[in-house]
Structure 1
Amino acid sequence: MDTQAQIDAVDRALTTGEREGAPAHVQTIAQTYRAPIEDVWDAMTTLERIPRWFLPVSGDLRLGGRYAIEGNASGTVESCDAPNSFGVTWEFGGGITWLTVRLSPVDAEHTRVELEHVALADDVGAEMWEQFGPGATGVGWDSALLGLAQHLTTREVRPDNSAEWLQTDEGVHFLRLSADRWADAHIASGADAAAARRAADTTFAAYTGAPAAPGAD
């Protein structure tokens, strides 16, 4: 696995927007895969296939259905336009955010996947945002795109010890690179550079158990 190449293959962006008339943080993360759009759609929307690259999921993935990801979020399928896009609520820890995934064919053998994650600013809270920034969720989405890349390339099933891999030297390096790239996106959106780097350090520490950098809290 070339972690640097995977990190470099992903585009990340952070903007402000609105949801239901309220200010929101809008994160986008995108990658182009060497696979036709029908195959990528199937990988991302089939109950039997999602666990091969992400996490076990149960429920009804039809429009209006409810789903649950083992040990993670649950929600409702709010939109579905196969094989181009789907949108779900992402309900976790008593809060709700919104996830939209868009697929677009680059050519017959390549597909671009863009994931948009919207969270109300008031729900995140100014203190939490200042402490962790976009990396808190962004690092997780980076890991998901990594899993999808591995699956579409090798057809291998996501290993049961994938969480353990993140604690290896290679996995920790991947998490560090991801946190730093989300800091770059944070800065590009207008954030203070020093504050964005501190938030990235805090996020990295939270994912790895490493001591937070001085002043990061």
Structure 2
Amino acid sequence: MIDIVQQIAAAHRAVELRSGADGESVSVQVRRTYDAAIENVWNALTDPDRLRRWFMPVSGEFRVGGRFQVEGMASGDILDCDPPKLLRVTYGHETSLVEVRLAENGEATVLELDHTVPLALAGSVAGALYVGPGWDGAVMGLGRYLSGMDTVAANSPEVLEFSAHSISVWESVVRAAGLATDEELVDAVAAAKAQFTPDES
């Protein structure tokens, strides 16, 4: 059983529009603290046998220059791998970058995930809704796994309800940032619902 309110509240979310040498990009950020040692969290993120228990089957090598494949989803290259603190990869496209940073907080571990894509690829800052709910599901799954809870099927009513709440929260985050139009938000919410809650009527 998923405590949806607790799981939603456990993560902090943010979205930014960044300017750089290659133009503007959209950054989707999720932060969560786990009651687990940093080495345990790192291992759960990078060991294929453990990844399949809370995320999805992933093949490849978690070393700089290595490649990985998430079964039925994205593939990418390992750009940085500094155990147990930093993992930076491309995800689905060479300009789609995911950086995971781990930091000790007493006996707990703080995970910060930053997924950055060019604005042209995201379409608008509202494009955060295309990936934010997915990362919410991942950090929730990791938390349940690290706590010794059973995994929940991705298409279960509980997960679909969690995803619906996540979409609503991400809509609020993007709206509060003031970086997307109402029309962009409406379109992004509709796309997120089609992707993350396809079985809901």
Work out whether the TM-score is over 0.5. Answer: yes
State whether residues 78 and 89 of structure 1, in contact with CA within 8 Å, keep that contact through their aligned partners in structure 2: yes
CA gap of 1:122–1:33, structure 2 versus 1, over 3 A, is same
State whether residues 180 and 197 of structure 1, in contact with CA within 8 Å, keep that contact through their aligned partners in structure 2: no
Q: Which residue of 2 aligns with 1:188?
A: 176
* Structure 1 segment 26-37 matched on structure 2, within 5 A: 26-37=27-38
Q: Which residue of 2 aligns with 1:103?
A: 102
Q: Which residue of 2 aligns with 1:164?
A: 155
Match of 2:136 among 131, 142, 153: 142
Q: Which residue of 2 aligns with 1:17?
A: 18
d(CA) in 2 for partners of 1:10, 1:205: 23
Q: Which residue of 2 aligns with 1:91?
A: 92
d(CA) in 2 for partners of 1:18, 1:98: 15
d(CA) in 1 for partners of 2:146, 2:194: 30
CA gap of 1:193–1:17, structure 2 versus 1, over 3 A, is closer
Q: Which residue of 1 aligns with 2:77?
A: 76
d(CA) in 2 for partners of 1:210, 1:69: 23
Deviations along 1:10-49, one digit per CA (max 9) or x if unpaired, are 1000001145522100110011011011110110011221
State whether residues 134 and 196 of structure 2, in contact with CA within 8 Å, keep that contact through their aligned partners in structure 1: no
SS in 2 for 1:48: helix
Q: Which residue of 2 aligns with 1:125?
A: 123
State whether residues 15 and 26 of structure 1, in contact with CA within 8 Å, keep that contact through their aligned partners in structure 2: yes
CA gap of 1:125–1:81, structure 2 versus 1, over 3 A, is same
d(CA) in 2 for partners of 1:174, 1:155: 16
SS in 2 for 1:164: coil
Shift of 1:144: 0.5
Which residue identity is paired with 2:110?
A: R
SS in 2 for 1:63: coil
Q: Which residue of 2 aligns with 1:2?
A: 3
State whether residues 63 and 80 of structure 1, in contact with CA within 8 Å, keep that contact through their aligned partners in structure 2: yes
CA gap of 1:82–1:64, structure 2 versus 1, over 3 A, is same
- Matching of residue 207 in structure 1 with residue 196 in structure 2: yes
Which residue identity is paired with 1:103?
A: L
Identity of aligned residues (%): 32
SS in 1 for 2:112: strand
Shift of 1:164: 2.3
d(CA) in 2 for partners of 1:52, 1:2: 19
- Structure 1 runs (4+) deviating above 4 angstroms are 192-197
SS in 1 for 2:96: strand
Gaps of 5+ in 2: none
Q: Which residue of 2 aligns with 1:41?
A: 42
Q: How many residues align?
A: 199
Q: Which residue of 2 aligns with 1:215?
A: none
Deviations along 1:146-200, one digit per CA (max 9) or x if unpaired, are 11011000164x45xx1221xx1x3232112100111121022213574475233
